[in-house]
Structure 1
Amino acid sequence: MRNRRTTEDALTGLGIIVIILVIILLVYGALTVFLPWQGDPHNGGMVHTFASNSGDLMRHVGPVYVFPAVNGTPSDVAVRYPHPDPGRMGAAEMTVALFIGNMGGVDFDKVRVVWGSGGIAETIPREDSRPLVCPGWTIAGKFNMLPLKSADSDNILEPNEQFEIFACPTTTTAPYQQFSLTILPSGNMAPPIVSATVPPLVQPIVSLS
């Protein structure tokens, strides 16, 4: 009598690949949680990039811009600070996109944006009014990476799209102090999208790379 093998008796090649990918994601997630991902406080703004270890893989694209806590329109967003201070950083702006190959989407009407600095994590409220009164975050622009294409009018970040995010916390950030910005998709945990150090001199517009 022949001994018939079933799918429960042996792993297929696809199953082995899936297991390996799961192990890699688990190891990556553990490293991003437990390793001290920190910028050089004397560097003036080294940016570290992280990816969500959930199914909503996001990355920041290009430099991160930081602005002093001065009322005005430093970027495309008019902003007002409860306590202006030109010597401290008041806001940051970055462009985010899905990782290449991710065919999902992130609904920015449901995300939480968390600013971390000085050992304090603050969930920043969504503010689409202008001027934006801090604390708040907003989608400052939407782009499509494909030539002659434009982003949809909805707030779902889809493949080939990029969203420009402007955010300012309640408390301004001092030179040499570290800060992080995290975008949490609905119901998911994620490491920061960026972690950087405020430069020693906060000029009107500072590009961190």
Structure 2
Amino acid sequence: MAAVLIVDDEVPILRALQINLQARGYSTLTAFTGHGALEQAAAHQADVVILDLGLPDLDGVEVIRRLRRWSDVPIVVLSARHGSDDKIQALDAGADDYVTKPFGMDELLARLRAALRRGTSADLPVVETEHFTVDLAAKRVTRAGEPVRLTPTEWKILELLARNRGALVTHDELLNQVWGPAYAGETNYLRVYLAQLRRKLETDPANPRHLLTEQGLGYRFQE
């Protein structure tokens, strides 16, 4: 059963989508704002996102940009904006498809199925170091060929870093995506969990080679 995150501030449209998708065997998550969408995406494993651009707090294009910093989830835009510039901005930001309102449910479902096929977990990489391997598709970590047991929170942090390997992931990004906006500034949470991950994965946790601290900024996964 694929999970669909529906993001729309028009309640009748959101409810209609929810009813139609559930009737066809999908499970659904909902959000009415951009910040709510980011929180839901961080807290739950959605397989695809249906996203309206005209949200009351964040513009939908900004939501796409923020999601793409850490997630490859397929995004189907559903918007009343018909202009080519709007479509180009959304697609350039990382959307997978663009459907305009009013829309036909059969067409939207077909676009949704296509996005799900493109976004199958088999496309996600396996990130390898000389000490451990992170299989993003299988959500599995091994060290010297043996499975490593991680807590859900440890996995979320490692997954976010591995998806952005080589790039700096800031404290704010990690806190927002793993715990939510209410935890902004709680960098002590990150120190505790990074220490736990290093003990489980690094050969010398005191001198890590792969889960690196960028002092005062954030963390970096170095392959």
TM-score, normalization: structure 1?
0.24
Q: Which has the higher contact order (CA 8 A, sep 6+)?
A: 1
Q: Which has the higher helix share?
A: 2
TM-score, normalization: structure 2?
0.23
Q: Which has the higher strand share?
A: 1
Larger-Rg structure: 1
